[in-house]
Amino acid sequence: MPRKIVPFTKPECQGIFCEASTCVLEAASKEGVKTYVQRMQDRAIQPCLFGEGGTCCRNCSFGPCMMIDDVPESIGICGATPATVAARNFARMVASGSSAHMDHGRETALTFLATAKGEAPFEIKDEKKLHFMAELYKVKTDGRSKEDIAIELGEKVLAEFGQQEGALVMTTRAPAKRQELWKKVGVIPRGVDREVVELMHRSHMGTDQDYKNLIFQASRCALADGWGASMIATELQDILFTTPVPLRTEVNLGALSEDHVNIVIHGHEPQMPEAMAIVSQEPEIIAAAKEVGAKGVNLAGVCCSGNEVLMRRGIPIAGSFTQQEVVLATGSVEAMVVDVQCVMQGLADVAKCFHTELITTSPRAMIEGATHIEFDHHRALEIARDVTLRAIGRYKQRQRVRRIPDRKMDVVAGFSHETINHMLGGAFRASYRPLNDNIINGRIRGVGAVVGCDSCREEAGRPNTAVVEELIANNVLVLVTGCVATSCGREGFLSPEAAERAGPGLREVCETVGMPPVLHMGSCVDNSRILIAATEIVREGGLGDDISQIPAAGCAPEWMSEKAIAIGQYFVASGAFVVFGRTFPTTGSKAVTNFLFREIEEIYGGKWAVESDPSKMAQSMIEAIDKKREALGIQEKKERVLFDMAMRREL
Ligand code: NFS
Ligand code: SF4
């Protein structure tokens, strides 16, 4: 398995891990192309300690009030304590992160409804899931057409966004014990949008000033994301665009083509990427590409737009979050098409250095210097054709193939929770039984979810893969989503051959089934697949009767976005132990941090932690997994594999 650790000799490339990216950036920076690497170095102002620890408040014009914990006079002009301020800031991160997934879910539901009504050029593809969802939402199916069912389902789902009372339907999929607990605590989300609005209200100046009460609503809001909007997005997208099944594809900058028109899709919502994928195969489009001397149109993804079409169509991913500017710096991209979230504004300047057109498509996300071509699901294909033809028109301006590194890695992706069911359970009787049995007999020690971003503050991607490597060596089956999945793909962890790097028990299971030890479950809204997988493990039996009891833990080694905080909070409120890397946004307040890192476990059975050393992070997850095994009475004494730097290099 080729694996190369890049020595960080060149100061301008500090912070880059992937060798292919380093090469591109070195060459581009000589031509004056500026990316986040230069911006990090140019930044005159260092990160603010008050901001980083969460104790800076600018919620009213008396402030900003910056405060230091434990200094009695260090409180806001209104009297707000560091704990109140840290909890308010944390809560607002949860609100913002959740709202991103909620708007995504809403857009999906609107496209779903339009499709059902025949007003959008997509199809109801997964009828089995349509029927499953119909049953869940109490939509009658007997004797009705799939469109009819989908219309009623779509309307019911959309109504949940504005719902004021009751409970979101998806929460009823959680283990019974978890639902009871949520009811008892009072955090069952009542409506999707309501919980964000209430959280924003409560964190307004002079409203909720009890940090525990603020975090209580932050949990309810986060649950409205994970067991609400994100799950809605995942399931409806599966019905529209198919539920993923394992497929082979490629990851890294080498996914760009030297002799095709390269169009990069970046952002989060799958509608535009799906439309682009459809039109890029049309004979007229291919003919137009040939007319300008190209062999056709090559689509490649970045971030979660990429993950969506990688999972369902096997379209390769050119780069993760930190690679988005690098992708353009290859000088070989005719158009980058972006919608919402995680899109760096710096892309506009990088695009200007080349013949690349940066195209924004969402009315909610415009960038100065980009071309705005608004997406409308009713005219999805028309718009996709327009965008594709523009890109084709630029192909001749591509100077030469500047620097597409010859680097890409084979990956197997497409692990929905349904796939895991079939794959491990066999073709005849799909079930989670074999997975549970392998956990009980100790071949698989437990399940580790490694999710989230890759970070400019780190050697991008390295902490992610270091944690993954150590987990699988300790027989922990790893589930990945988002940009972590791309980090893992680049380093070869998403291929069945990676089983060689797993501990003997996990390796045996992987080799029997022919699966990688690291399963790519999709984009970040698809973290909802992990919630369902955990629920299925509980339902299968033998590993406790709630998510908090199963030998599992989660982490986000290189988290950067507010969405990551929302995701972490819904996992904690669902009973999971969650470790975040490098920094945590409440560390300026001991009270709030203590609450989130310790006391909250008594309420939900899950808690937060922060750890910047990847090996210690992996070990803390393994420790948590072992504790759960002990409590279940299935723990045998087992050696733990500890990685030091020398071992890593040797590998
Ligand atoms: Ni998730 Fe996906 Fe990537 Fe982080 Fe951004 S793209 S939604 S937030 S950076 S994993
Ligand atoms: Fe300062 Fe209170 Fe205003 Fe915040 S709300 S800025 S702590 S006075």
Does residue 25 lie within any of the structural domains? no
524 lines ligand 1 (CB under 6 A): yes
- Residue 217 in this model has a pLDDT that exceeds 50: yes
Ligand nearest to the CA of 233: 1
Q: Cite the DSSP H helix spans in 374-502.
A: 380-394, 417-425, 433-440, 462-473, 482-490
Q: If you count them, how many residues does the chain have?
A: 651
Least confident range of 38-42, 123-127, 298-302, 599-603: 38-42
Verify that 374 and 469 share a domain, yes or no: no
Residue 346 inside a domain? The answer is yes
What is the pLDDT at residue 638? 63
Which residues form the domain of 267? 253-397
The answer for residues whose C-beta is within 8 angstroms of residue 54's C-beta and 6 or more apart is: 85, 86, 89, 90, 585, 586, 587, 588, 589, 592
- How many structural domains does the chain have? 3
Q: Which of the ligands is closest to the CA of residue 50?
A: 2
Strand partners, 70: none
Same structural domain, 385 and 435: no
CATH number of 458's domain? 3.40.50.2030
- 231 in the same domain as 100: yes
For residue 453 and ligand 1, the question of a CB distance below 6 A is answered with: yes
Task: Specify if 571 maps to a domain.
Answer: yes
User: Does ligand 1 lie within 6 Å of residue 350's CB atom?
Assistant: no
- Which residue has the CA at smallest separation from atom 5 of ligand 1? 342
More reliable by pLDDT, 493 or 431 = 493
Give residue-wise pLDDT tens across range 182-212. 999 999 999 999 999 999 999 999 999 999 9
Cα–Cα distance measured from residue 291 to residue 285, given in angstroms and rounded to the nearest whole number: 10
Residue of the nearest CA to atom 7 in ligand 1?
524
181 CA → ligand 1 middle, Å? 30
Please indicate, yes or no, whether residues 417 and 385 belong to a single structural domain of this protein: no
Per-chain mean pLDDT for the chain? 93
For the CA of 205, the nearest ligand: 2
Is 129 part of any domain?
Answer: yes
Say if residue 428's pLDDT is above 70. no
Average pLDDT over residues 330-339: 97
Q: What pLDDT is attached to residue 401? A: 54
Rounded distance, CA 17 to CA 1, Å?
A: 17
Gyration radius (Cα) of the chain, Å: 24
Three-class SS state of 499 = helix
Query: Same domain for 437 and 577?
Result: yes
**595 and 212 Cβ atoms separated by less than 8 Å:** yes
Nearest to 92 by CA among 229, 207, 197: 197
- The CB of 207 under 6 Å from ligand 2? The reply is no
Q: What is the pLDDT of residue 44?
A: 60
What is the whole-number distance in angstroms between the Cα of residue 203 and the centre of ligand 2?
11
Predicted confidence at residue 25, as pLDDT, reads: 87
Q: What is the pTM of this model?
A: 0.95
* Closest ligand to residue 60's CA: 2
How close is the Cα of 65 to the center of ligand 2, in Å? 6
Structure tokens at 411: 């990956």
For residue 9, tell me if it sits in a domain: no
- Residue 50: band (very low, low, confident or very high) from pLDDT cuts 50, 70, 90: confident
Give me ligand 2 centre to Cα 49, in Å.
18
Residue 371 CB neighbour total at 10 angstroms: 15
Cβ(450) – ligand 1 distance below 6 Å: no
- Say how far apart CA 171 and CA 67 lie, in whole Å: 38
Of 197, 213, 241, the one marking the end of a domain is 241
CATH code assigned at 212 = 1.20.1270.30
- Answer yes or no: do 331 and 374 share one domain: yes
Ligand closest to CA 482: 1
Q: For residue 86, give the ligand nearest its CA.
A: 2
Look at residue 9 in the predicted model and tell me its pLDDT: 40
Per-residue pLDDT at 544: 97
150 found inside a domain? yes
Quote the percentage of the chain above a pLDDT of 70. Answer: 94
**Ligand 2 lined by 60 (C-beta under 6 Å):** yes
Q: How far is the CA of 74 from the centre of ligand 2 (A)?
A: 12
Closest CA to 87 of 602, 574, 605, 589: 589
- End residue of a domain, out of 397, 424, 456: 397
Ligand 2, atom 6, residue with closest C-alpha: 63
d(CA 91, CA 221): 9
Ligand 1 centroid–CA 507 distance in Å is 29
Last residue of a domain, one of 397, 427, 451: 397
Residue 46: both structure tokens together: 């260092």
Mean pLDDT of 595-614: 97
61, 129, 228, 406, 590 from 104: Cα distances, Å: 33, 20, 11, 34, 35
More confident residue, 623 or 27: 623
pLDDT at 290: 98
Residue nearest to atom 6 of ligand 1 (CA): 303
313 confidence band (pLDDT: 50, 70, 90): very high
Percentage of the chain modeled with pLDDT above 90: 84
Taking residues 486-514, what's their average pLDDT? 96
| Whether 605 and 526 share a structural domain | yes
Q: Looking at the structure, do residues 217 and 269 belong to the same domain, yes or no?
A: no
Residue 426 binned pLDDT confidence (cut-offs 50, 70, 90) = low
- The pLDDT, as a whole number, for residue 49 is 83
Would you state the structure tokens that stand for residue 145, as one six-digit string? Answer: 């057409």
| C-beta of 647 in contact with ligand 2 (< 6 A) | no
Residue nearest to atom 2 of ligand 1 (CA): 304
Residue 2 binned pLDDT confidence (cut-offs 50, 70, 90): very low
Number of C-alpha atoms within 13 angstroms, CB side, residue 68?
5
193 and 316 in one domain? no
Confidence of residue 615 (pLDDT cuts 50, 70, 90): very high
Omega of the bond prior to 585 within 30 degrees of 0, cis?
Answer: no
Nearest atom of ligand 2 to the alpha carbon of 60: 3
- pLDDT of the residue at 328: 96
Tokens of 438: 């392998």
Q: How far is the CA of 86 from the centre of ligand 2 (A)?
A: 12
The rounded Cα 402 to chain-centroid distance in angstroms is: 31
**C-alpha 597 to ligand 2 mean position (Å):** 26
**Residue range 20-44: mean pLDDT, rounded:** 84
- Taking alpha carbons only, the member of 72, 36, 25 closest to residue 454 is 36
Q: Over 90: is that where the pLDDT of 40 sits?
A: no
Q: How far is the CA of 526 from the centre of ligand 1 (A)?
A: 11
* 374 in the same domain as 231: no
Please report how the helices 614-632 and 462-473 are oriented relative to each other, as an axis angle in degrees rounded to 10. 40
In a domain? residue 13: no
Q: Whose CA is nearest to atom 3 of ligand 2?
A: 60
- Can you tell me the mean pLDDT for 253-272? 97
pLDDT digits (tens, 9 = 90+) for 346-404: 999 999 999 999 999 999 999 999 999 999 999 999 999 999 999 999 999 997 656 89
pLDDT at 39: 86
Residue 576 and residue 429 share a domain? yes
Strand ranges, E, within 149-295: 247-251, 261-267
* Pocket residue to mutate for ligand 2, from 60, 81, 88, 207, most atoms within 8 A of Cβ: 60
Residue 564, domain member (yes or no): yes
Q: How many CB atoms lie within 10 A of CB 607?
A: 21
Report the nearest atom of ligand 2 relative to the CA of 67: 7
**Does the structure show a pLDDT above 90 at 13?**
no
Q: Does residue 424 share a domain with residue 327?
A: no
How remote is the CA of residue 205 from the centroid of ligand 2, in Å?
Answer: 7
